[in-house]
Structure 1
């Protein structure tokens, strides 16, 4: 790695050489640790913690991979992943066909957003999203909360909120913040990274209703889980969809992305898969707060 190469960043902060030396020392001193264990240890030693005091292990795990790509460190070999358990897939021969859920919104009866807390709920959420969402199930980047939308007639949908994009042109232009302001306050932005209405559920206005319910729910749940109050929601809608339910739920459309994605660090996929950017302010002063104006 040439000495003139710019220093890497972790969650927007420049990582100086003494911090890199500490990470190199960990790798050399503890060759038996997995990459995830190294990431957790580095977070504890460097103070890379969330507002609730928990380490940013997921983000740091990706950061270590980046350092290895840049030839700044040499990590232990990746450990073989365990095979997915059969329980994660819902396509089983003995599972009865879903009963269609149709009619007006009021006919659903009591409608709740259940936060995913148990192993059984996690299996169900992953299975539904993997089979019925066009992006499938992926481990989210950083902090996240997941919900099952449950009616009196059964599960009708799934939602996920997770860490936002570091840079998002339409969002950043709308807020009008500087790099320093974004670095300091990005944690107050959440991404609605998965939203699914199950295909056998045909209920007018359900999607926009759940988006509105989800916004209220995550404002209450996120501070309890992570110690940070969200001020703004963002999402990306694939070009094959019109985003009608987001518009009906009063989200704002702000143009398209470049199509690169979070992991395209070398700009190899510019324009490959553009998506429309949508925002939902959670307070009338959201934009001012994100700029640090009160």
Structure 2
């Protein structure tokens, strides 16, 4: 191979391809998961919490296969992402939720708290509420993510989730001022607010911006505790045809531009025409310095 490839931050040259093909040959009958785990162990390719980057490695392997550089064994279930792991299936009996109207001033609400529910007993409630009441629904969140339910006393009033950032957004990248090398290295420190749902029976002025403020105070701590590395910048994308982003602006998020109206599917870009505003919120004052950093060990 004349020129090395960089896939998912991993440099792949002739030496790495020989190693990958050798592991595939040894682990062929064990399947793709075993191949990815063995490669991660050989490369010591781990998340900062110590877990192997197995899913990322399998994405790398599929990209190499799409370039005809390797051949992978068939998926044991016939699909790269089995349906029972990929999509949310609502329960036959929905969880019981008090849907009576809640219309009051924010100061008259019971104490409002945000609870992180990823891998807790309340994650199923979050999944159902977002599936049932969010305009985009819920099937799955790919990659790193955390889910939150906002409670007013013992009643859920809102659901939020935060996930891995979108890799390339021109307006955001200009605002940060990083080059492609810094983005490749530090994109994990940008976290995306990909779901924000106020439950439809809740009418409370300023509650949305209040919840965004609460989120900004705890997401950095929770993200670091859960994934082992810090978040420096929050981002979100607001559909211009549906919303004006008022609650984000009231919570001091900065509008930095708009998305181009394209999406990626099957390694190809297509125009969907849905313009979205790009809003950002720094969690640390020197976020640009940290996100532009290229030294060893990363910036804390």
Same fold (TM over 0.5): yes
Alpha-carbon contact 2:224-2:230 (below 8 Å) kept: yes
Question: Is 2:31 the partner of 1:30?
Answer: no
Q: Distance in 2 between matches of 1:258 and 1:194?
A: 20
Q: Distance in 2 between matches of 1:170 and 1:194?
A: 20
Alpha-carbon contact 2:95-2:125 (below 8 Å) kept: no
Match of 1:110?
Answer: 111
Alpha-carbon contact 1:259-1:275 (below 8 Å) kept: yes
Match of 1:51?
Answer: 48
**Taking structure 1 as reference, are residues 124 and 75 closer, same or farther at Cα in structure 2, changes over 3 Å only?**
farther
Worse-matched range after superposition: 131-140 or 142-151: 131-140
Q: Distance in 2 between matches of 1:58 and 1:35?
A: 10
Match of 1:73?
Answer: 70
Q: Distance in 2 between matches of 1:16 and 1:263?
A: 27
Alpha-carbon contact 1:182-1:290 (below 8 Å) kept: yes
Match of 2:246?
Answer: 244
- CA displacement at 1:50 relative to structure 2: 1.6
Residues 211-250 of structure 1 aligned to structure 2 (within 5 Å): 211-240=212-241, 241-250=243-252
Residues 48-197 of structure 1 aligned to structure 2 (within 5 Å): 48-78=45-75, 79=77, 81=82, 83=84, 88-89=89-90, 92=93, 98-118=99-119, 120-197=121-198
Alpha-carbon contact 2:98-2:155 (below 8 Å) kept: no
Q: Distance in 1 between matches of 2:290 and 2:232?
A: 8
Ranges of 4+ aligned residues in structure 1 off by more than 6 Å: none
Of the candidates 266, 269, 273, which is equivalent to residue 268 of structure 2? Answer: 266
Query: Unpaired runs of 5+ in structure 1?
Result: none
The alignment yields a C-alpha RMSD, in angstroms, of 2.9
**Taking structure 1 as reference, are residues 17 and 113 closer, same or farther at Cα in structure 2, changes over 3 Å only?**
farther
Q: Distance in 2 between matches of 1:264 and 1:82?
A: 17
What is the DSSP-based 3-state SS (H/G/I as helix, E as strand, rest coil) of the residue aligned with 1:31?
A: helix
Alpha-carbon contact 1:233-1:282 (below 8 Å) kept: yes
Alpha-carbon contact 1:170-1:254 (below 8 Å) kept: yes
Query: Unpaired runs of 5+ in structure 2?
Result: none
Alpha-carbon contact 2:118-2:148 (below 8 Å) kept: no
- CA displacement at 1:94 relative to structure 2: 9.0
Q: Aligned pair count?
A: 290
User: Given the two structures, how large is their TM-score scaled by the length of structure 2?
Assistant: 0.84
Worse-matched range after superposition: 212-221 or 122-131: 122-131
Of the candidates 9, 14, 17, which is equivalent to residue 17 of structure 1? Answer: 14
User: Given the two structures, how large is their TM-score scaled by the length of structure 1?
Assistant: 0.85
